[in-house]
Amino acid sequence: MPSQWKYLSRTLDICALEPFAKVLDAKPDVVVTAADFEDAFRQLPELLLASSEARKIHLRSLLQVPTSANQPASSASGAGEIVQSEAPSSSSSSSQIDALDLATAVFTCQERCSAPALFGWDDIAQHHCRLDLDRFDRFDTSGLLSCWEHRIDQAAGPPKIDFSVERSRIARAVVQAAGLDDRTATVLDMDAKDLRFGCSACRPERYAGYSLTKVGYKWRDWVRFLDYSFSFV
């Protein structure tokens, strides 16, 4: 379905899968026809599912979940621990919630791209930035050019993603401010709230020299803004 296209692997990644690669990498004297790809295409749904599940397992192993919402990020538990909630029975059971869907599952892309933060599996699954960094550096010594400008240098495989302890800590506070349980609230729960956040200590500023205004941020933007702001404190 078109709504699923953004989650699918890139053509480059599919070509790197063994059933396709063995045909594409055949010796030059081998005559390749469409029939040679039939077996690969039959396996494709299972291959894509297996690849997705393997990636989820790896990302879950990166999660670091504090045992208390009030703990500082430095006291986070070891990697691989998944959230187990003791929320009231009226709320969703954590056993039914994938830890990668939690609003506090905030990741960062380690490639040189413009994505400041990735919230949950949905963001990660549709993030396909991946470059050949060695070749990229030769073209961009300043580090200012974007992935889009060098899309011809893409390398096979998903981008390198890492869990952000600091942004997860900030997201936990934002979820609590929204009145939700940070142990069970998902990205979709926060999106559905569609709240605006701002600094209660900051004074209003004049906009275009006329009215006094204060900026209201969507929850994802507020997490990014706080992380960016605190990095300069």
Instruction: Residue 19: give the domain boundaries.
Output: 2-230
Two structure tokens written together for 28: 């030059």
Residue 69 backbone class (left: φ over 0; alpha: ψ -120 to 50; beta: rest): alpha
- Which residues lie across from 155 on neighbouring strands? none
Question: What confidence score (pLDDT) does residue 148 get?
Answer: 39
Q: In angstroms, how far apart are the furthest CA atoms of the chain? A: 74
Report whether pLDDT(71) > 50.
no
% of the chain with per-residue pLDDT over 70: 71
pTM (2 decimals)? 0.69
Q: Indicate the number of domains in the chain.
A: 1
Residue 154 pLDDT grade (very low, low, confident, very high; cuts 50, 70, 90): low
Distance CA 5, CA 223 (A): 28
95-152 per-position pLDDT tens digit: 588 999 999 999 999 887 777 799 999 999 999 886 544 444 444 444 434 443 444 4
Residue 228 pLDDT grade (very low, low, confident, very high; cuts 50, 70, 90): low
Report whether pLDDT(175) > 90.
yes
Report whether pLDDT(174) > 50.
yes
Residue 19 pLDDT grade (very low, low, confident, very high; cuts 50, 70, 90): very high
* Average pLDDT taken over every residue of the chain: 77
Distance CA 88, CA 216 (A): 31
Question: What confidence score (pLDDT) does residue 92 get?
Answer: 45
197-223 per-position pLDDT tens digit: 988 888 887 766 677 788 889 999 999
